[in-house]
Structure 1
Amino acid sequence: MAQPERDERLARAFLDLADTLTGGFYLIDFLHVLTDHVVNLLNVAAAGVVMIDAHGRLVDVTASTGSVHQLEQVQLDFDEGPCRDCCYQHESIGPMDLSGPAARERWPRFSQAARDAGFGTVAAVPLRLREESIGSLNLFHIHPDALDPASVRLGQALADAATIGILHQRLANDQAERVGQLQTALNSRIVIEQAKGYLVARLSISPEDAFARIRAHARAHQRSLTLLCEQVMQGSAGTELFAIPAAPRPDV
């Protein structure tokens, strides 16, 4: 990517992450914007976000691919992994070679699952403002020892911008809405999973492909991912909109 184009994309990313005080704010859509920018700007293959709910529990909110969604759930089920450590220690984790002894000893089940999913390196940076931590951004690369420090630093900068945007949006709403924001995001996850399942059944494609096609259509038409999935389930967005596979992203 040429430097002027990269600079323009970087400026757009920070503008997008600051734009949270508008009507129709959906947390899960906002976090998908974050992961899209992370994958486009950093030298990573995929990204995901885990957040801390009102009871201090970790919840898998969003990811750029279905396989990363599954890995985030592995971390929650086994109570081990970079996002867990990042959230509770309030500091960045890695990059770590998933085939190396440090990762295999620290996260034996997660590191095996991540390698099985085709990833070689992982890092996590906190969604944090001063002493308040609301979650973590997880970065994955397909090659071992492939995440460079500059990419992790940029990932932290994007995570910081997203955290400021989320917290500003929360301050603009009343307490009840703030408490319900994460629950709304989880409800959106259910709608997205339902829409994926519907396309899998109707188009005879994989869940990963269904997820990629929905995200690609939402990005191309600048539509809310949540609202698009609701329209799929209501029948107002026909399956013909998703009949063409999403363009593959070059390996990084």
Structure 2
Amino acid sequence: MGERLRGKSAFVTAAGQGIGRAIALAFVSEGGRVVATDRDADKLSGLEGCETRALDVLDDAAFARAVAEAGALDVMVNCAGIVHQNTALTCTDAEWELAFALNCRATWKGMAAVLPGMVERGRGAVVNIASAAGWAKAAPNRFTYAATKAAVVGMTKAAAVDVVAQGVRLNCICPGTVDTPSLGERIAANAAAAGGMEAARGAFVARQAMGRLGSAEEIAALAVYLASDESAFVTGQAIVIDGGWTL
């Protein structure tokens, strides 16, 4: 058990699996109090040391209520999101609307819910999950996803400027290809065209400069740093963690 987040309270969305779950567990391991939320309450099982709560971040009122009931928060992690496979020619109105609602609006609402209290107390850290694919490098068939994640970067920087003098910091993490259940779904979706699951997975690995996928725990380690006082001089940054994919 570490001490890097001792005395800090954190709220994490999409903590049921993947990066969100790894962040929640990493925060607890560093001594933090964690309110872990997910739309699917069953996925929150096994999050030892966390306070768990079912939450649909697309429900503005429920989101605001959950943050308020969590009490004074030192850290907010906006992790909820969705990845559509589309281009400018194949993107549908429904995909566009859902992606911006979940990837952008929910991030905005999460920030709006915690920032007043953080500003009042003169401290706090917000960590938004963006993507290397929306900031540092284009990926094929990620039109809507790239648009939303680029927006998350812009939102993070704009919000950071507005509260920088009040002791509150906002940063975003831009992961590359990470081995998560979400990636597994995309691999499965590409399996037929790629010639099988192994070939589809191999295609994702092949584009990695290090020859491997990232792990959710590696992303969580960066989130711990950004949530802790070690990063007290870091704000408004979009930090790419991608194993060299964007080199």
TM-score (norm 2): 0.26
The structure in which a higher percent of residues are helix is: 1
TM-score (norm 1): 0.26
